[in-house]
Structure 1
């Protein structure tokens, strides 16, 4: 998670120094661009406790690959598409992303698609699927591969888990918006797409917890730009949570009432307790480590506000210009959520720029999304309806 240190640094031109916390040394993860190949009958004999698909991966070389077991490759490597940073807890983050994306029964055009997840050992790969009841070893295989351990029964072969994701050639929201002239029509379209995606996730009991422009990807294969919410490493799947399985406050609810373990979980009234996210987009209650899904609404408000007015800061580590609103205090800047936590009565000046063309409807919506009290914010379904109203009116 991205959390700033306790000491605020003096900055100029909107630079703020942040650190990524987590055990272990920082590492870089490569993102490969793959091409799917036609797959012929592998003539694979299934064990009753194994998944259906077993195939080779042409870009993985193994000196121990048994020639007699060579199967048709499903993918070929084209090029490296990019790299991302992650900390020592990356196995838990990867498992969280796998769990979130595979728990979705339906697709949404504005949520990045996990095409498949494959477990590779001895040069061959086996398709993994969420909750496959035919495989008693399913979850253990995933966990051991994520943690770099060896599967019981294969002591000489390490295992690798590969995520085959939808490719978004347009980069992230930062690059797309800041490389083009301001376009109110595109802003309105992006507002509708983002709120639709978050409404879909919340309806499916998924709290993203790390919404930011870096985690919003773009594809233009259909002609017009389509947003894809991505990176579910910090997400929380709340489906099935009850009084015995909550994070740290089992019976606590945002409305103050108790919770029957058989009740349907309302993620807008279910408290989460792991303080995580990226500081410029974190709601006040996240800084305190006690929040609900309404924290996603706050983050979305920061993103939309920054996108409309093109408010940016320079990341001290990467030196990149990023979309994000903040509060300026002399030579220092601080995240809006942190500032509201310190001064809950602070009035946000929206719009920030004198020549802004922001409508009164959008202004009021952003103020509601960025309310200090999460109960004063609209939930995701209400937000989706209000965005449709204000964008149509414009």
Structure 2
């Protein structure tokens, strides 16, 4: 790794991997390096999905995180670049077989270790048979000695179990080092939560963020990529002199399909319930099949939260997050919009919110933008605008409200 990149510090950690700030050894260019340990088939499947999606987007859109290169780690100091449009076959095999399959060189090493252990075991059995009398005599003498030295019975260490665990560690050791390293562009503004909530409200900045996200999602959908986990945590920010440039990131839950077929947009159906509670669409909450229109609902939640600076605290955390919700009951507990709309498809959403957080707050969205947000948050997926229509509608609504 040192020959190609220098790791500086850890900048993020999630359920699946760790992200480091690093530099290219030759140029000194700053990059983000994400390590994804290939510990089980389920994780590997997510990593391969993320890799394939990022390779498809390449560096073709300013608002989608750029992948510079991908490396495969097969040992403590063994890294190799993965060729474009190629996936490691042993990782694909791991997904298909439901168990982690090592790289060919690791498999050969494991086979050699296994043969060595087999020969050693056979030799030890032969030695045991020839020295049985001596061994029994020694054990008898040791037992007598211990009995005379101690009045408290002591349980001997379970050496067989210890040896078994050690063997397993030796066998899985190389496989535990299997990892994918994604080298991506570095975003110095953190995620969208960190960036917006650490600054005073600014309507112009909020409008820019919303329009950039529209452009990114339209680009992804036209490539046949449904993100399935759009939320502020998965939007990174690059700080520039002209303002923030947002980047949609984290494609681990994304799905790819043919975007166009016979000149008509396909509407591929998905069934896996995935995403983050406060941004999931009603049809996902209900366990129904869903399409890329679930992404539009997630965007609607984010847009509403960004434009009005609506935040919440997730249970067990102290970090504020951007996200719209419904207050239920006298206690005012928070309910995700998708869940509330799944329970009651005719629920009326009050946009702008009647009860908002204390100032400073940006001005509420105008009537045209409120109407668009209601369309994006429709309980019926077919009533939501398509991604490639959204950017023009946002621009038109903001222009109309500005007069």
Under a length normalisation based on structure 2, what TM-score does the superposition of the two structures give?
0.69
- Give 1:367 deviation, angstroms: 0.5
The aligned counterpart of 1:320 is 319
Answer whether contact 2:72 2:79 (CA < 8 A) is retained: yes
- Give 1:265 deviation, angstroms: 6.8
Provide closer, same or farther for how the CA distance between residues 175 and 88 of structure 1 changes in structure 2, counting only shifts above 3 A: farther
- Give 1:33 deviation, angstroms: 1.2
- Distance between the aligned counterparts of 2:383 and 2:31, measured in 1? 48
The aligned counterpart of 2:219 is 200
Stretches of structure 1 that go unaligned for 5 or more consecutive residues are: 1-25, 40-74, 133-137, 242-261
- Give 1:91 deviation, angstroms: 1.9
* Residues 1-394 of structure 1 mapped to structure 2, 5 A cutoff: 29-38=17-26, 89-104=42-57, 107-121=60-74, 123-132=77-86, 138-143=87-92, 149-155=101-107, 156=109, 158=175, 159-221=178-240, 223-239=242-258, 263=262, 266-267=265-266, 269-289=267-287, 290-330=289-329, 331=331, 332-353=333-354, 356-393=363-400, 394=402
Answer whether contact 1:238 1:265 (CA < 8 A) is retained: no
Under a length normalisation based on structure 1, what TM-score does the superposition of the two structures give?
0.70
- Distance between the aligned counterparts of 1:366 and 1:304, measured in 2? 8
- Give 1:392 deviation, angstroms: 3.2
- Distance between the aligned counterparts of 2:44 and 2:67, measured in 1? 17
Answer whether contact 1:102 1:129 (CA < 8 A) is retained: no
Answer whether contact 2:227 2:295 (CA < 8 A) is retained: yes
Answer whether contact 2:237 2:247 (CA < 8 A) is retained: yes
How many residues end up aligned between the 2 structures? 307
Aligned residue for 1:89, secondary structure, equals helix
Deviations 1:151-196 (A, max 9, x none): 1244335433211111111111111111111111001101110000
Answer whether contact 2:223 2:259 (CA < 8 A) is retained: no
- Give 1:388 deviation, angstroms: 1.5
Aligned residue for 2:89, secondary structure, equals helix
Answer whether contact 2:326 2:337 (CA < 8 A) is retained: yes
Deviations 1:264-286 (A, max 9, x none): 6734x221111111111111111
- Give 1:354 deviation, angstroms: 6.5
Structure with the higher helix share, 1 or 2: 2
- Give 1:223 deviation, angstroms: 4.4
- Distance between the aligned counterparts of 1:184 and 1:212, measured in 2? 20
Aligned residue for 2:251, secondary structure, equals coil
- Distance between the aligned counterparts of 2:342 and 2:46, measured in 1? 27
- Give 1:77 deviation, angstroms: 10
Aligned residue for 1:150, secondary structure, equals coil
Provide closer, same or farther for how the CA distance between residues 106 and 203 of structure 1 changes in structure 2, counting only shifts above 3 A: farther
Stretches of structure 2 that go unaligned for 5 or more consecutive residues are: 1-13, 110-173, 357-362
Deviations 1:358-385 (A, max 9, x none): 1111001000000111111100011111
Deviations 1:317-342 (A, max 9, x none): 33211111111112222111111111
Bigger Rg, structure 1 or 2: 2
- Distance between the aligned counterparts of 1:77 and 1:390, measured in 2? 38
Answer whether contact 2:325 2:336 (CA < 8 A) is retained: yes
The aligned counterpart of 2:159 is none
